[in-house]
Structure 1
Amino acid sequence: MAHLRISILVLSLVFLSFAFSEAKEVIVGGKHISWNIDSSKTLNEWIQKKHFRVGDQLKWKSYKDSDSVLQVTKEDYESCETSKPIKANVTEITLDQAGRFYFISGVKVHCDKGLKLVVIVKPPKHVSPSPAPATATGPAAPPSTNAAAGPGFSLSNGIFGFGIGLVGMALI
């Protein structure tokens, strides 16, 4: 019986680790750097050291009423165009696709002075490259029921594991 409890505990901890490893929540600039004109250089140094994946969430610390965060296109990022943002008054955003996300200050003068960020987002770790086309001449295999998730663990698997972990810990 003791071995069963230990096994359940170990499995619970493994599943819990997957439940919380999918996405991360990041405060832009960390604990000590906020979104303001005085920190623009430090924010750009901070972002160079960060790696983001699809599903991660960015949160901006509260900033003065005299400024805001806009998500914009690459062109608007380069020219500090504030009149047609993709999203205005951003305080948090989930990075929902791989690629580049562009953020600028809602105050053009601040953007012109460098208060802007480019966030580069990598695909999720569990996405694998597409398999090579099959060369067999037989009938095609039926489609996978979860082909989009790819191999490995997904957030739903992690949540399932979290539930299993709670049950396992209750049994101990």
Structure 2
Amino acid sequence: MENWRGARLMVVASVVAIGWLSLVVMGSPVLHKVGGSKGWINHDVNYTEWAAQEHVYVGDWLIFKFDRRYFNVLEVNKTSYENCIDRDFIKNITRGGRDVVQMTEARTYYYLSDGGYCFHGMKVAVQVQEYQDPALAMVAPAPSPVVSGSSVFTCIWIIVANVVLFVNLMVVGIL
């Protein structure tokens, strides 16, 4: 019985350690203030330049800070973005002028402000990428499309594999 408790403790400790290491390796989400220190306003910000300097990854957040009496934030498709079309938007993320949205998948997200502000440059296209640790990229090959799911899926997979390993070691009698 004492051997079983020790094995269970080892499994729990391993699961916790692997989960924590997975978060460290994959990085923590970052909050990106759209437009930098000036925020989401209609002048003095080149959002194309701002977006080109940002490295946004799946799981990161964008925060739009603005005066909601004048501006809003609409997620649109590429055509609407390019032509400043504010009808038939994907999502209105405007809530109170300090609005956040999480980047949930690797793709380009398009945002604009309606009321004609888009025509004056108040739009941004944010390219979101899967996170890949540069240190691991030099050692390991790129993951296949089947394996390259979300960070949560990867963490769960690592935990399950670890538990299976320890159960097998207990059955064989090594632990």
- The TM-score normalised by the length of structure 1 is 0.60
Name the counterpart of 2:143. 129
Name the counterpart of 2:28. 22
Name the counterpart of 1:104. 112
Higher RCO (CA 8 Å, separation ≥ 6 residues)? 1
1:8-39 Cα distance to aligned partner (Å, 9 max, x none): xxx8xx85971892321111122x21211113
Paired residue type of 1:99: R
Matches for 1:150-169 after TM superposition, within 5 Å: 154=155
Matches for 1:72-83 after TM superposition, within 5 Å: 72-83=76-87
What percent of counterpart residues are identical? 25
1:86-138 Cα distance to aligned partner (Å, 9 max, x none): 1114421111111100011122x21011110000011132794218xxxxxxx
Q: 5+ residue gaps in structure 2?
A: 1-16, 159-175
Paired residue type of 1:129: P
Instruction: Figure out how many residues of one structure are paired with residues of the other and give that number.
Output: 127
Q: Which has the higher helix share?
A: 2
Name the counterpart of 1:35. 40
Structure 1 38/68 Cα, relative in aligned 2: closer, same or farther at 3 Å? same
- What's the CA shift for 1:148? 4.3
Matched, 1:55 2:69: no
Paired residue type of 1:26: H
Matched, 1:95 2:103: yes
Partners of 2:114 and 2:41 in 1: how far apart?
Answer: 11
- The TM-score normalised by the length of structure 2 is 0.60
Note the aligned Cα RMSD (angstroms): 3.4
